Structure 1
C-alpha cells in the first residue's frame, strides 16, 4: 500500500476516493487506476535514467488508452507484442520511433504494419524471424531496424515458470551462438542492425541478476565491435518485482545507478 492507495476506516481508498462509493456510482465490475501512483512509479525510474536513454513501458501490462496517453505525455517509449498494441500506442499519442516490437509470434501483417508506421525497432527472437523480416522488408523496399534478443544464461533467482534468461529457456538466441547471427543480420540488405536486447525473467526482487546480464551484454557489444558491428541500442529488458508480501522491493535507484556506471565503460 502507499499514501495514494490505502485503507481508511476499513474502506479501500484510491487517491482519497472511497472505492465503495465509486462502485455505487458507476456499478461493477469497475476498474480504477491512480494517476498519481502511475506517475510516482514512472518517476522512480526516470529520475535515475539520464538522456538519451529511453524508458519503455510494456503495453501488455495494461493497454488502457488513458494510461498509455498519460505515459506518452511524460516521454515514455513503449514495448509492444502485437499489432493491436501498436495501434493503441499510436492512438494514444505515442511516437512510432519510440516503439519497440518484441515477442515471439509477430505475424506477416503485423510486421508490415510496423514497417509502414516506421517503428523504432524490432526485437528479433531468432534467426528464422530475422530472415522473415528481411524478406518482408525487401518486398516493401524498406529498411527494418532490428535488435537481436540474446539469452545471456543468467539465473534470475525467480520462479522457474517466469524465468526467461537461462540457456534452458526457449527465448532468444543463445549467447554462445549469437555472434554468427549478428554477422548475418549485419550482412542482410534490408536489415538495419542497431542493437541487442535481453530479458531474464519476471518478479525479480534484487539488482544482481540484472547487473550480471547487463555485464554479459556489454561484453558482447564490445566483441561485436571488433568484428566491425557498431551497435547503438542496448535493451536490457524488464521484469522488476512487485512486493506482494512483506518483503524488500527491488532497489531501483541502486540498480539504475550501477547500470549507468557500467555503461560509462562502453562509450
Structure 2
C-alpha cells in the first residue's frame, strides 16, 4: 500500500513521515499506552454518520447504531451525543447503552434468541421496539408483556431471500438463514401478532447481511419489503415504520461501496415512486459508521525467515483481531514510521498457538523488530469480538478528538482474565 495515500481513511494520514490519527502521532500513543492498542478517530465516526444524516435530510428517520460492531462505552457515547438510537442484540448491550447515556426510547432490540429476562429488562427500560424473528418469540414476548401489564411495540424481521453477495457467515437474508420470518409467511405472522393483547405492531424490519458493496441487493430487498407492506396493510394491520436494517460495507481492500447518502438517494427515490416516502424510516448501520475510524497498533516482535514463507511476528493476535482468522478478511497493514529501502514479503502473524492466527498474508514490508505497525479498518468487529484466548488480556482503547486523547478502555491485566474464577479446593 502506498504510504502517502490511505483510501477510505480521510482522518488517518502520514504527516512529516509519521502516521497520525487526526492531529495525534500513533507512535506517541504506542509509547504511552503500549501495544496492542486500538485507536479511534471521533471525526471519522461523525463524518460517516453525517453521510447518513445528509441522505435522510427532510425525512422522518431514525438512525440506530448497530452496536455489535463496536460496543465500547466511549464509542457509544459519541453516537448517543450525536442523536443516534441503538440496535441491540442482548441485555448486556442494553446495559451498555444506558451506561453511555443513550435514550432507551430510541433502542431497537434485534436477535433470534432473546430470553424472558432480557425481554423484561427491555420493557422496564422503555425501549422503542422489539424486532421479532419467529412466531415462538411473538408468543413469549406477549406473555412477558402481559405479565408486566405492558404492551411491547414490535416489528417483525422479514427474510426477503435476497443475496447480499458477501461472505456467507454475514449473509442473513437468504432462505437458509436463522434470521427473520419467511417472506411468504409474513402476512399470517402479522395478523397473529395483531391479535395478541400484549403486543402493539408498529413496523417491519429487514436486514440482509453485512459488508455489502453493491446497490442492487438493497434495491431488491426494498422492493420486496414494500410489496409486503402493501399486503400486510391490505390484511388489516397498519405499518407505522419501515426498518431497512444496515449492512453497508466499507473499503477494506479496494472495495467500492456506495456512499451512504448516494445509496439512500436511490432507496428514497424508490420509496417516493411507490408512495411510501412519508413513512417513518429506521436504519441500523454498524460497520459503515465505525469500521474505518479505527486502527490497531502492534509491535513487531521477531522476523522469522522460512523455506516457503517469511513471518513477521507481532504482539497482536487473533484474539485481538479475529476477522482474518474468522472470515479470511483483509486489513491493510502499514508502518507507523516507514523505512527507506527494499521491502520483503511476510505473513504477518500473532503469538497464539494456532496456525489460523494470522493478520495478513503475503505483505510487502520493510520492518525490523521494535517497529510499530498499524492494522487499518479495525474499528468494527475487532474489539467487540476479542477474547482472552491463551490468557491474553484484551487491548487498551483510546479515542482521538483533534489533538485530544481519551483513554476509553484500560488494558486488561492477567489477573483481570481470571478474577471471576474459583479453585474448587
Q: Which has the larger radius of gyration?
A: 2
1:221 equivalent in structure 2: 229
Unaligned runs of 5+ in 1: none
CA deviation profile, 1:157-211 (whole Å, cap 9, x unmatched)? 1122221111122211010111111100011001001111011111100111011
What pairs up with 1:186-201 in 2 under 5 angstroms?
Answer: 186-201=194-209
> Larger deviation: 246-255 or 187-196?
246-255
Matched, 1:230 2:244: no
Flag the structure with higher strand content.
2
Residue 16 (structure 1) shift: 2.4
Residue 262 (structure 1) shift: 2.3
> Larger deviation: 67-76 or 146-155?
67-76
Matched, 1:30 2:43: no
| CA distance in 1 between partners of 2:184 and 2:235 (Å) | 16
Residue 10 (structure 1) shift: 5.0
- Of 18, 21, 24 in structure 2, the residue corresponding to residue 14 of structure 1 is 21
| CA distance in 1 between partners of 2:265 and 2:236 (Å) | 30
SS of the counterpart of 2:268?
Answer: helix
SS of the counterpart of 1:31?
Answer: strand
Judge conservation of contact 2:108–2:127 (CA < 8 Å) in 1.
yes
Give the TM-score of the pair, scaled to structure 1: 0.96
Residue 88 (structure 1) shift: 1.2
| CA distance in 1 between partners of 2:267 and 2:49 (Å) | 18
| CA distance in 2 between partners of 1:247 and 1:199 (Å) | 21
Residue 123 (structure 1) shift: 0.4
What pairs up with 1:65-104 in 2 under 5 angstroms?
Answer: 65-104=73-112
- Of 127, 140, 152 in structure 2, the residue corresponding to residue 119 of structure 1 is 127
Residue 73 (structure 1) shift: 1.2
| CA distance in 2 between partners of 1:154 and 1:137 (Å) | 33
Q: Which has the higher contact order (CA 8 A, sep 6+)?
A: 2
CA deviation profile, 1:212-243 (whole Å, cap 9, x unmatched)? 10111011111111111111111111111121
Judge conservation of contact 2:51–2:259 (CA < 8 Å) in 1.
no
SS of the counterpart of 1:86?
Answer: helix
What pairs up with 1:27-176 in 2 under 5 angstroms?
Answer: 27-50=34-57, 51-176=59-184
| CA distance in 1 between partners of 2:53 and 2:175 (Å) | 31
| CA distance in 1 between partners of 2:122 and 2:255 (Å) | 40
Judge conservation of contact 2:213–2:257 (CA < 8 Å) in 1.
yes
Unaligned runs of 5+ in 2: 1-5, 279-425
Give the TM-score of the pair, scaled to structure 2: 0.61
Flag the structure with higher helix content.
1
> Larger deviation: 32-41 or 19-28?
19-28
Residue 66 (structure 1) shift: 1.7
CA deviation profile, 1:15-74 (whole Å, cap 9, x unmatched)? 121111111122233221101101011101111113421111011111121221111111
